[in-house]
Amino acid sequence: MVWRGIFLGAFAVNLTTAGSILSSLGIASGNTLEALVGAYLVMRFANGRKVFDRAEDIFKFLLFAYVVATTVSASVGTASLFLTGFSRGMQQGSLWLTWWLGDMAGAILVTLFSTMVLANDGVQKPTADRAARCCARQSAFGRRDRLRRLSFSQGTGPPFEVHLHSVRGLGRL
């Protein structure tokens, strides 16, 4: 039932910015389809809720959630703007690419945040250790059993290190 919230939120945001009812309906439909397609593909082909347990499933997740699903929203959104006349004078290819990259960046940020905060089926406050574990779990490069520590910078202060004591347990967060 989350799709209803996605649709209503996208519709409201687009209607209150610069769109018409028709273009807002099209964009909201594309955003909703993106979420539904991404969720279906990850659940069906990338081990569902256990997607981060195996490297193979992580790569499938990256492909389905960040590349394929965001293509749906960018395509439907661009088509909606074109058909309602809101993209006159714009290069359609550039508009589509910008939309796709924006959706992909948003999907990455939402995944990182939700994985970090909602791990262990409960809401927990983000900490440096949880951030390090989340980054390690999201990393599609390198092996988890070789990752021993991550360094973070505190802006103007000195960097600090987070040591991962149970590296094999990263997939069970």
DSSP 149: E
* Neighbour count for residue 140 (Cβ, 10 Å): 9
d(CA 171, CA 149): 16
Write out pLDDT tens, residues 102-121: 999 999 998 888 877 766 55
CA angle, residues 7, 13, 17, in degrees to nearest 5: 145
What distances in angstroms separate CA 118 from CA 34, 50, 69, 87, 111, one per listed residue?
Answer: 21, 14, 22, 38, 10
Which residue, among 165, 169, 76, has the nearest Cα to 129 in the 3D structure? Answer: 165
Write out pLDDT tens, residues 19-48: 799 999 999 999 999 999 999 999 999 988
Beta bridge partners of 162: 150
Domain limits of the chain? Answer: 2-124
| Residues of the chain where predicted confidence (pLDDT) is lower than 70 | 118-173
Which pLDDT score is estimated for 167? 36
What distances in angstroms separate CA 116 from CA 63, 98, 112, 124, 155, one per listed residue?
Answer: 20, 27, 6, 8, 21
